[in-house]
């Protein structure tokens, strides 16, 4: 008599066969209500204050007056190998049934958010942000690029899990 003991093989096979169909993904950046919040910028021109998302876009891509200080794209470029390694580990955890796809996406989101916040706190290291101009330092009271006295932009970086 031959006994077939699969030790969970059938369950693993079912989970792995479902992976390509998963549509779960994570979005990281300045999102949701925090993005729409007014930024505490001195505003003496009579216009409504810019939102945190406005300030994020101006700094990420630069303007005629603000040099680009990429805290999103550069973080992904600098830490690409680490992020891919984390995503691979989380993918294996999903395949083994240790976490579900939404939990894995959330963990990856938390990881990338931490890297972006760290980049701002470290003034862009390893590729340093262009320093603030003296007029900017006088206006905001800080020589740290992307950091107002409130830390609102940095604290507005978050993630959202979407799909399945």
pLDDT tens, position by position, 9-65: 666 566 666 655 568 889 999 999 988 888 876 566 777 888 999 989 998 999 988
pTM value is 0.79
What's the rounded mean pLDDT across residues 93-110?
92
pLDDT bracket for residue 132 (50, 70, 90): confident
Token couple for 84: 């891919």
Is the C-alpha dihedral spanning 133, 139, 143, 145 positive or negative? Answer: negative
Q: Hey, where are the domains in the chain?
A: 25-162
C-alpha span between 101 and 99 (Å, rounded): 7
DSSP H or E stretch at residue 25: strand 25-30
150: Cβ–Cβ under 8 A, 6 or more apart, which residues? Answer: 40
């Amino acid at each position: 008599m031959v006994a077939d003991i699969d030790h969970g093989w059938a369950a693993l096979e079912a989970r792995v066969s479902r992976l390509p169909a998963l549509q779960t993904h994570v979005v990281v950046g300045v999102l949701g209500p925090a993005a729409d919040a007014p930024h505490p910028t001195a505003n003496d021109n009579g216009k409504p204050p810019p939102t945190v998302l406005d300030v994020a876009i101006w700094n990420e891509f630069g303007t005629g007056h603000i040099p680009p200080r990429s805290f999103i794209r550069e973080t992904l470029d600098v830490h690409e190998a680490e992020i891919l390694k984390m995503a691979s580990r989380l993918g294996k955890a999903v395949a083994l049934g240790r976490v579900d796809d939404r939990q894995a996406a959330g963990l990856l989101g938390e990881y990338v958010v931490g890297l972006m916040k760290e980049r701002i706190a470290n003034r862009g290291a390893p590729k340093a942000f262009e320093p603030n101009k003296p007029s900017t330092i006088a206006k905001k009271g800080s020589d740290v690029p992307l950091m107002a006295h409130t830390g609102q932009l940095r604290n507005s970086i978050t993630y959202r899990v979407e799909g399945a």
